[in-house]
A and B are shown apart, each in its own frame.
Chain A
């Protein structure tokens, strides 16, 4: 019997007081926050607020200590060196930073940027812009009907013209886990660097950047129990060293004269402006919470829940599930449609039963076009969800067509 993790999350308790069920199945969008994270952020505000790296007084030193020890915690969590962790506003900002400081500077006409058709807009639009500005070509790896990128796609499309492969580790629509180790190896053989969008993977599976040999990794704190407004760009130090900052201003310089500037070393040179110290502290607390359970255990719980949900949903003939049928090759993200039902109606009706799911194109319009669907419903799970919640949600799914006036067939 696993313990009731929900007890650590005040929101579930507070929602529960309303006397109606509250089932949160939109964890790919954002996650709820445990007391440990909330207390840490409050404690920072109440006891340590100061501008880090600036003041020659004890409080500022303590704030610096909070900020830099959070960087250390992130580094340890993904197997990186401390100086390889750049704090950003989130995954989107991390990818924007890389696309502008690497892509827009290093790429030229004739070079190829390779991404997959399943990318979230945040790992697509920055590269579209780089391609427009530099004349480099944006190419796509296409997924099959199971949401997998066939081997031929990356084996053939990674060539010596490919300069960067920017790939979602786990699709936020289909939940498919991409074969990133093999793709990274192939990209390196061709002389390309690889950015992984880890927004949907870092919160759910154990990741070691050195083992993966990945060049850059972006992720967000709020999808892994931490605060909004903070995320991470990991980069191999020798690559970061070669990049210039995009966001320039206070706190990132060694020396400024009237017409010249010498920036600090990475990671600090990329962090212009007063940083989000409370966010970093909250992220550290979130990592501590996740490590307390263990990432392997988290994956195991989610895998069990995903298999259970897929099995239950398949019992409803009116539901069409997208992506892989096999729960071992997918994370806890399930996109589906109900026959004749627009996803927006499904989400409204599920909400009336206390089940929060997502409906729409999930910021992945090219994938929707590729799959030939207009939009989908999406259930996304986290370790604090339970089989009982899945039972309630599936029961509600079974009622949707009836509410809309479609008779049983």
Chain B
């Protein structure tokens, strides 16, 4: 065997390693270096354990930020979401990052978080413009409104924590419902789709391709399109979606998520599953562009529109956000690779209980001051 053939067969045997080196390392390193550069350019020094992040106003070692991104990105990734909600709770309650700039900073992270996955979808050409565009249009008009709510109605940390508590509770209920027989029966179509998918993945692995991507013949095709209805087809299944309803969902989720600083997956995914019964592999084609659109329009509103219209500014801490995002990209990628080995039956209720308890504490603390810090 020549040297080239040996190298080729090595990569064929280790497709995940190949994907990590080709896609993830450049992305993670790039975001991390951008964090260091921005620190020096904007603040003139590298914030961390000794000197506080100027906008966040807290001292925290950089390794802790990478770790926070990694663990929130991983645990949320396992249940199919971006790191936003866990990150907000941890940053507020443990790091004591409680000022308004936390929300736009979190939007930087939810914006960068899905890029690892995005590279994969782009390579596999798994896109359906018609499916994503209506939700994105909703987000485009909805998310610029959120910052005004955050700055004028939710600027008190206790009130903000109460709203975050409600979202944590919604997520906890959703996680617990997902393992009930009722939900599993409802999503039979998803299960049959998953079996079909798993079979193909086995073949994929044998051929030496990374098993997390979608098969070459997988396409989400538009079968029919008008101003009112959209019919999509994927792998022999068909689904009709109501377009005004999609725009409305995108809008409402956009307003709420950009006010909180989350990507919107925590609301969008359960809504789309319960209304349309779409499988996760199809949903991500809509939710990934949605989260990116929501984050960028929300961020723009915090940085430009809000100060321009009201004179009140809520700048984001870019270096804090970029350091966390580089960890979150790695965490989300690790989740996508290991998800199929994790027994969801135990993990989802466990995460659900943890999330629910934190959410409840935040809500209770709003009405009756708790004797300890939350």
A binds B: no
